[in-house]
Amino acid sequence: MSNIEPYRGGGLTSYGARRRMLTHIDGSSRVRMAELEAAAEFQSATVEAVAHVGRKALQGVALLSQIEQQLATTVPMASGRLAAIADLTAIALSEVVVDTASKLRRV
């Protein structure tokens, strides 16, 4: 009455072959995850390095501004020159931050 035949596994890979494929996929996934985690750690370290240099530059500019103001109060006639020197120094500090970010991007 029925033409249904029992499944014999014809044409499909064996259990051992399927197991090896799954093991390979699992191993490949673990390697890829490790690579992604390493890349994320590297990027985090880069962010920390740039932030550290930025904080130092900010502190330097704040101290520079304070000294400029003190000297300008002491010698008002020098205020223009003091401001020019302070501006050039602040620009140089910002260039260091940019250079640091650029160099770390190439690492």
In a domain, 7, yes or no: no
Residue of 12, 104, 94, 10 lying closest to 56 (CA atoms): 94
In a domain, 69, yes or no: yes
Q: 72-100, pLDDT tens digit by residue?
A: 999 999 999 999 999 999 999 999 999 99
Q: Which domain range does residue 52 map to?
A: 15-105
In a domain, 31, yes or no: yes
Confidence of residue 53 (pLDDT cuts 50, 70, 90): very high
In a domain, 6, yes or no: no
Residue of 87, 98, 104, 105 lying closest to 54 (CA atoms): 98
In a domain, 54, yes or no: yes
In a domain, 47, yes or no: yes
Tokens 């501004």, residue? 65
Number of domains in the chain: 1
List Cβ<8 Å contacts ≥24 apart for 42-46.
46/104, 46/105, 46/107
Q: pTM for this one? A: 0.68
